[in-house]
Structure 1
């Protein structure tokens, strides 16, 4: 999975000379928490709700409303923006992007290649990617099996399902207790769950659950 397959391509950005009052208004109107700062077609920084909050007068300040508004409209994004921005290539794996977010405790990575901004990958994009990969929101059946962690076990489960004439849409394998793994399989369409469960258990595959899934818009 590459970053380019999940990134947000339509990027809303601002210039360094934008006031923080206007930047805050843009974030509120667009439902965003961060904005890339672009100057002469180059990424020069990142402004976030946190940086704006730090630059805004405290509620305990003695300034009047007029003075606070004056300060917010006078302070520029370039005065408060993050200049050392962590970026990622569109050709990097999604896992690399998640690792960078986790390591640097950030919720957005501008996607840069050859000095050009191609998009951004955010924590919300990662959440959507997880839902897509796991098959969430699709009609069908989800089977959860606990099996021994041994070579060929995944292909064995998938072959049994395929022999029943069912289409496997997604699979996820998760480490379980020592020596075992949990395999989750998303199957398209209608399924004779009783017959499938019997076939799996006869092959010594422990079925933890078989549950219907309903289509949902992500």
Structure 2
């Protein structure tokens, strides 16, 4: 899973000479919180609500409303944008992108390819959407959690074969290895929750959760 698979591709971008008032209007109109600043298809900065807010005169200013508006009307994106923007390659793994966001405490990464061209942007919300997709949240079916105390090579193959032999199709698998046990969570296409649980228990597996899931709207 690469950044390209989950990034937002249809971007609204601005030029460095856009006036701040116009950038704010663009954000409000499109309900967005940041604007990549590009020149000749290359990313040169990032304009965010935070950078705009920081550029606004404080309430303690002695300037008149007319003077404040005059100053802001002359301020452009190039004057206040973040210039040293942290980016990520479109072919980087989703995990690498998440790690970069976490370690640098940022909520957005412009996606820039090897030519320096802006391909998209990935945000916290894109990461959340990716997690929901990977875990099959919207698909419905049956969620099964197994507790495996003695993990060993081939156990996953044995479980998947058992389910396949009983005509059950697995849509997602998540493996969570803890210190003393391994938790295996599977989402199965079938809604025959009780039958799935019975098959696994009769085969000796420790089923500690078997839940019928409803399809969720995207």
Report the TM-score when normalising by structure 2: 0.92
Report if aligned partners of 2:19, 2:75 keep a CA contact under 8 Å in 1: yes
CA offsets per residue over residues 38-80 of structure 1, 9 Å max, x none? 1122211111111111101223333333332222222111111
Runs of 4+ in 1 over 3 A off after TM superposition: none
SS of structure 2 residue aligned to 1:44: strand
- How far 1:168 sits from its partner (Å)? 0.7
- How far 1:154 sits from its partner (Å)? 2.0
Match in the other structure for 2:216: 216
Match in the other structure for 2:162: 160
Matched ranges for 1:1-218 at <5 A: 1-113=1-113, 114-148=115-149, 149-176=151-178, 178-191=179-192, 193-218=193-218
Report if aligned partners of 1:19, 1:76 keep a CA contact under 8 Å in 2: yes
SS of structure 2 residue aligned to 1:73: helix
**Aligned counterparts of 1:142 and 1:188: Cα–Cα separation in 2:** 9
- How far 1:136 sits from its partner (Å)? 0.4
Aligned length: 216
Superposition CA RMSD, Å: 1.5
SS of structure 2 residue aligned to 1:204: coil
**Aligned counterparts of 1:214 and 1:74: Cα–Cα separation in 2:** 54
Report the TM-score when normalising by structure 1: 0.92
SS of structure 1 residue aligned to 2:174: strand
Report if aligned partners of 1:147, 1:153 keep a CA contact under 8 Å in 2: no
**Aligned counterparts of 2:71 and 2:170: Cα–Cα separation in 1:** 59
Report if aligned partners of 2:191, 2:212 keep a CA contact under 8 Å in 1: no
CA offsets per residue over residues 70-110 of structure 1, 9 Å max, x none? 22222111111111111111111111111111111111111
Report if aligned partners of 1:35, 1:47 keep a CA contact under 8 Å in 2: yes
